[in-house]
Amino acid sequence: MGSLLQERLQANKEEKSRIDKKVENSLVRVTQNEKEIVDGFIRAISDEFRKEITDPKTDRKALDAKIEKAIREKSKNLDVGYEQKKVIEKYAIANIIGLGPIQPFMEDPAVTEVVVQRYDNICIEKEGKVIAVKEAFMSEENLRNVINRILQPIGRQVNLSTPIVDARLSDGSRVCATIPPVSPHGSTLCIRKFQNEKMTPEAYVRLGSISLEGMLFLKACVEARLSIFVSGGTGTGKTTMLNALSTFLPENELIITIEDTLELQLKQRNVRSLETRQANNDNMMPVTIASLVKAALRMRPDRIVVGETRDEAIIQFLNAASTGHEGSMTTAHANSPRNLVDVRIPIMMSMDGASNFSEESRAMQIAEAVNIIIQLERLPNGKRIVSRIVAVDGLTQGKRVNLCDVYVYNRQTGNFKCTHKLPKYILDKFRDRKVTLPDTFTELPKTGGPET
């Protein structure tokens, strides 16, 4: 009899262990009745720990441990099966001290971005594709609580006086959140997860995002101190490419990086990182990309690397790139190299109300400061590729910035074609700095290459 009882106890223990692993490793979806049970947990927990929750001096980790213990005790008293108890317990913990339905996506290394369009409308980016998911927050209030829980450790919060928050989390992830009335249909949340393992140049080649010869050419461009723009649409991997290019920067140069939120991961010794700051009150001076680029010029850098240029800061960057800080790099949103030099950069230059450049003078400044444009693209299957590498070669007779293709991606064959042509001034830079090109290039005519 005793032996039979022991066998049953052992079987029961093994069954519970199996259920524990199953619930732990799966996405939790609950019924309406289970949601109501969790709502009751939330109300009870809020009442029980109200003082500690609202006290800014509370040790958050210790409080979370106490709340988790209380949740587990409450779930034990539920008149339901063991598996249902564990499901309710996990869901309650995720919604009370975790990140609710987005918790598993934040823990999934294959997910690069989480976008909450409304409390009941969530999508993720995984392997380059945007995917709608069934998971949802229980309510608008639940989403709002999670947003503030995310922001609390960095001393920020979203409220009526600050309805938009754009911040960097302690792990390097970027978060942008809004609440009504800015987003009238409900709160929104976007988290771009920090990638611990950055894309190396070797990984770009291995994944077929660029040819080996193309990457070696970019390495030569960095070593020859050519000024580089990484251009592309949203989500094409501009910052990732900038990180890859940074691996080619020499150890003995003084480098300054400038970003809205720190994402660049330069490994060189002589790197100073600057970050913008929003003004939270009338007495606080806002720190912008433009002001940081201006300040960086007084800090004796050999190169300046700007995470993204999207406003009048472009004028300071172009000045830096053409006056002793050759080899500087930045990214910008543009659909093509032609769109970048003819539309995007001129629009950014016009944002400076104190400047009044003619169309020709803008083109001249761009042609003088920018040497290489790397155009990135995301294909329909989610794959990110370098669609073109373009050299800037002065102005055309029509006073437009002259562009000539160096590498072009062929969508039909999936191959990268090299034109083996470069402007004379770029060839001279390679020769002057004794940088070896990956292949033989022929000089273009003095008028430049074909219009692109």
Residue 158: which domain range? 101-195
Same domain assignment for residues 132 and 191 = yes
Residue at which a domain ends, from 50, 67, 97: 97
Residue 49 pLDDT? 81
Residue 56, pLDDT > 70, answer: no
212: CATH: 3.40.50.300
Same domain assignment for residues 334 and 235 = yes
**CA 436 to CA 428: how far, in whole Å?**
12
Between 46-60, 154-168, 207-221, 289-303, the lowest mean confidence (pLDDT) is in: 46-60
Same domain assignment for residues 89 and 30 = yes
**CA 51 to CA 65: how far, in whole Å?**
16
Residue 448: inside a domain: no
Same domain assignment for residues 329 and 292 = yes
| Mean pLDDT on 162-188 | 88
Same domain assignment for residues 239 and 330 = yes
Residue 241, pLDDT > 60, answer: yes
Same domain assignment for residues 396 and 412 = yes
Q: What percent of the chain has pLDDT over 90?
A: 44
pLDDT tier at 441, thresholds 50, 70, 90: low
Count the domains in the chain. 3
Same domain assignment for residues 311 and 245 = yes
Same domain assignment for residues 250 and 180 = no
| Structure-block tokens of residue 322 | 């053409």
Residues 29-45: tens digit of each pLDDT: 777 888 788 888 878 88
Residue at which a domain ends, from 195, 210, 232: 195
Residue 367 pLDDT? 94
Q: Taking Cα atoms as reference points, which of 329, 338, 342 lies closest to residue 221?
A: 329
**CA 395 to CA 401: how far, in whole Å?**
5
Residue 428, pLDDT > 70, answer: yes
DSSP-derived secondary structure for 195-221: -SSPPPHHHHHHTTSS-HHHHHHHHHH
Task: Name the phi and psi angles at 159, rounded to 5.
Answer: -155, -175
Residue 178, pLDDT > 80, answer: yes
Residue 178: inside a domain: yes
Same domain assignment for residues 4 and 119 = no
Residue 450: inside a domain: no
**CA 35 to CA 328: how far, in whole Å?**
54
> E strand or H helix at 338, and its extent?
helix 337-339
Q: Under 8 Å CB-to-CB from 385, ≥6 apart: which residues? A: 208, 209, 210, 376, 377, 378, 379, 409
Residue 19: inside a domain: yes
> E strand or H helix at 76, and its extent?
helix 60-76
Average pLDDT score over the chain: 86
124: CATH: 3.30.450.370
Using alpha carbons, list the distances in angstroms from residue 159 to 122, 182, 187, 279, 396.
Answer: 22, 11, 11, 16, 52
Residue 325: inside a domain: yes
Residue 158: inside a domain: yes
| Mean pLDDT on 130-137 | 90
Residue at which a domain ends, from 145, 161, 195: 195
Residue 447 pLDDT? 44
Between 17-26, 235-244, 254-263, the lowest mean confidence (pLDDT) is in: 17-26
Same domain assignment for residues 298 and 277 = yes
pLDDT tier at 445, thresholds 50, 70, 90: very low
pLDDT tier at 104, thresholds 50, 70, 90: confident
Same domain assignment for residues 105 and 248 = no
Residue 219: inside a domain: yes
Determine contact, residues 78/88, Cβ cutoff 8 Å.
yes
Residue 449: inside a domain: no
Residue 446, pLDDT > 50, answer: no
Residues 289-343: tens digit of each pLDDT: 988 998 998 999 999 999 999 888 899 899 889 888 899 999 999 999 999 999 9
pLDDT tier at 386, thresholds 50, 70, 90: very high
Task: Name the phi and psi angles at 379, rounded to 5.
Answer: -75, 165
Same domain assignment for residues 136 and 191 = yes
